[in-house]
């Protein structure tokens, strides 16, 4: 048993421990019921619950939650449009979001799923320095998608963001 000051009182009978808690005007709280003998503490139960809720709230604040953002592509996308979408995906990954890259097939385009698979592979390869593949390319209905998650430590510089910076430098020079 542990008293309100945090000093250990040793092993006591349950009745004696309850009597000590009542004389102190506090509660007898079972801290570790699986231990042999069980560990109890004399403390204010309401305050203990309050402090525990504060700790839980702080833990939730510090916890990093991932948001899933989507980047949609078409199988016949031009290179400039692809680079624009890739730049957007890069920016979202660097902000800490997961990316769902979706390729939408319309009409007879569904027969050329290999184009879509090639496009997703290209996106995965371009994002390799800053992202890992969480879910491989998968065809569901008329859409093919893949999920990319940001790396905790990037293995290199982003591919497209650095290109945009180089283009700006060329224009200013």
Q: How far is CA 8 from CA 1, 11, 28, 60, 145, in A?
A: 6, 9, 14, 32, 59
- Enumerate residue ranges in the chain where pLDDT < 50: none
Q: pLDDT per residue over 107-118, tens digit each? A: 888 888 999 999
Place of tokens 């624009």: 84
Strand, helix or coil at 86?
helix
The per-residue pLDDT for 73 is 92
Contact (CB, 8 A) for 93 and 127: yes
The per-residue pLDDT for 120 is 93
Closest of 97, 163, 160 to residue 131, by C-alpha: 97
Tokens of 4: 């309100």
- For domain 14-61, the CATH architecture is Roll (3.10)
The CATH code belonging to domain 68-157 is 3.30.110.10
In this structure, the chain runs to a length of 173
Q: What is the pTM of this model?
A: 0.58
Tokens of 136: 């491989």
Q: How do the domains of the chain map onto residue ranges? A: 14-61, 68-157
């Amino acid at each position: 048993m542990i008293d309100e000051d945090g000093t250990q009182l040793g092993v006591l009978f349950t009745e004696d421990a309850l009597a000590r808690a009542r004389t102190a005007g506090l509660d007898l709280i079972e801290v570790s019921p699986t231990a042999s003998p069980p560990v109890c503490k004399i403390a204010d139960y309401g305050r203990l619950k309050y402090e525990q809720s504060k700790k839980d709230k702080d833990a939730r604040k510090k916890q990093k939650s991932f948001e899933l953002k989507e980047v949609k592509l078409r199988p016949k996308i031009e290179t400039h449009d692809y680079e624009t979408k890739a730049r957007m995906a890069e920016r979202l990954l660097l902000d800490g979001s997961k990316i769902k890259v979706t390729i939408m097939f319309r009409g007879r385009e569904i027969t050329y799923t290999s184009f879509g698979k090639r496009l997703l592979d290209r996106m995965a390869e371009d994002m390799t320095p800053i992202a890992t593949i969480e879910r491989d390319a998968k065809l569901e209905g008329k859409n093919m998608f893949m999920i990319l998650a940001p790396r905790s430590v990037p293995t290199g510089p982003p591919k497209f963001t650095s290109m945009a910076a180089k283009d700006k430098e060329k224009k200013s020079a």
